[in-house]
Amino acid sequence: MNLPKRVEIMESGPRDGIQNEKTFIPTEQKLQLIHALGETGIKRMEATSFVSPKHVPQMADADVVYRNIDQKPDLQYLVLIPNKRGFELAREAGAKNLALVAGASETFNMKNVRMSVEESLHQLSLVVEEAKSEDMFVRFSIATSFHCPYEGIVAEETTLNMVKTLETLEVDEIVLCDTIGRANPHQVYQLFSKTLDLGTKAKVTAHFHDTYGFSKANSLAALQAGITSFDTAIGGLGGCPFAPGAAGNDSTEDFVFMLNEMGIETGIDFEKLMDCVILVKEMTERRLTGHLQQVRGGSLKQRV
């Protein structure tokens, strides 16, 4: 197997993980989770998102959350912004690391941000230009890189053309997202291999959901293609408000466990990560999909 010696993990739980929760999670609990995750050795996380509270009520406290994070100097805290207004709010809060997103699928993008893909890329290109002029880090996710819940399979060329466009914008990171968890390992290997063949200066990251139980197989395919950066969410939390049927993200603890078993380094303290699962279980009514917390069962509670 062609596998890397080390993998970097972006923890998406505090943002992508909880954005779809129906019951509002108190700000104090969000901060508790963020700080606990920061003690695990994780070096990157999506902390919150500056989106319309009308469309994503769970993120209504984004400004308060971000301003009250006791930020560790060696940890990158990113915030999602959907548009220029979100950028302005994030900047006012002091954010320096931005996460932007646009869909490869026209229908998904229209339902997500009520703009065509071309309109999204034009508006967000202006945000990228301004952010880079202020020396901000810009990460850009391509939602529905593989499949769209409305249009079906997304052509490889469509996603690759978006990658090329983002490279011209000089973003720092490009994320290919299996937003509805419908990709298979063959698709994943092919698309990531072709993306890396483009020789982008931007870091290329994989983002998988586990709707059909393929997230680990897809992660392995991405690893073999040469990807060393992955998005995951503690407890397997997640889902997209604009992608019907999308299940949670690939579970951070399960992915770290798998990598550990394969001798691939992450720099993450697994037991501290499992302590974070306890926090997640207490702050959400959702049944967590991570396998490790099911295997350990009651022993999770005993560690409190």
Distance of CA 303 to the CA centre of its chain: 28
Q: Is residue 67 part of a domain?
A: yes
pLDDT value of position 246 = 55
Q: For residue 304, is pLDDT > 80?
A: no
Q: Which two tokens stand for residue 121?
A: 């890329």
Distances (CA, A) of 213 to 107, 244, 251: 25, 16, 11
The pLDDT value given to residue 239: 66
pLDDT score at 244 = 53
Mean pLDDT score, 19-39: 95
pLDDT of residue 303: 41
Q: Is the pLDDT of residue 158 over 80?
A: yes
Domain assignment of residue 207, yes or no = yes
3-state helix, strand, coil in the chain (%, to 5): 45, 20, 40
Quick one: which H or E segment has residue 204? strand 203-208
Structural domain includes residue 15 = yes
- pLDDT value of residue 23: 92
Share of the chain above pLDDT 70, in %: 94
Residue 175: count other Cβ atoms within 10 Å of its Cβ. 25
End-to-end CA distance of the chain, in Å? 39
Report the C-alpha gap between 227 and 99 in whole angstroms.
19
The pTM is what?
Answer: 0.94
Assess if residue 69 is contained within a domain: yes
Q: What angle do CA 39, 36, 214 make, to 5 degrees?
A: 95
User: Is residue 2 included in any domain, yes or no?
Assistant: no
Q: What is the mean pLDDT of residues 74-91?
A: 96
User: Would residue 142 count as lying in a domain?
Assistant: yes
The most confident of the ranges 59-63, 110-114, 241-245 is: 59-63
Establish whether 148 is a catalytic residue.
no
Which residues, other chains included, contact 7 with Cβ-Cβ below 8 Å and sequence gap of 6+?
A: 223, 228, 229, 230, 259, 264, 265, 266
Domain membership flag for residue 165: yes
What burial class does residue 156 get, using C-beta atoms within 10 Å of its C-beta: 0-12 exposed, 13-18 middle, 19+ buried? middle
Domain range for 198 is 8-302
Q: Write the single-letter amino acid at 151.
A: E
**227-253 pLDDT, tens per residue?**
999 999 999 988 655 555 556 899 999
Catalytic residue among 148, 177, 240, 276: 240
In 39-135, where does DSSP find H-type helix? 62-67, 84-93, 106-113, 117-133
Contacts of 35 (CB under 8 A, 6+ apart): 69, 70
Q: What is the pLDDT of residues 179-203, one digit of tens each?
A: 999 999 999 999 999 999 999 999 9
For 14, 243, 274, 283, the CA distances from 31, given in Å and listed in that order, are: 9, 27, 17, 12
Neighbour-count burial of 23, counting CB atoms closer than 10 A to its CB (0-12 exposed, 13-18 middle, 19+ buried): exposed
Select from 185, 186, 140 the least CA-distant residue to 165: 140
The contacts of residue 71 (CB under 8 Å, 6+ apart) are: 77
Q: Which H helix or E strand runs over 76?
A: strand 76-80
CATH of the domain at 95: 3.20.20.70
**Is residue 3 one of the residues assigned to a domain?**
no
With bands split at pLDDT 50, 70 and 90, how would you rate the model's confidence at 290? confident
Q: For the chain, how many structural domains are there in total?
A: 1
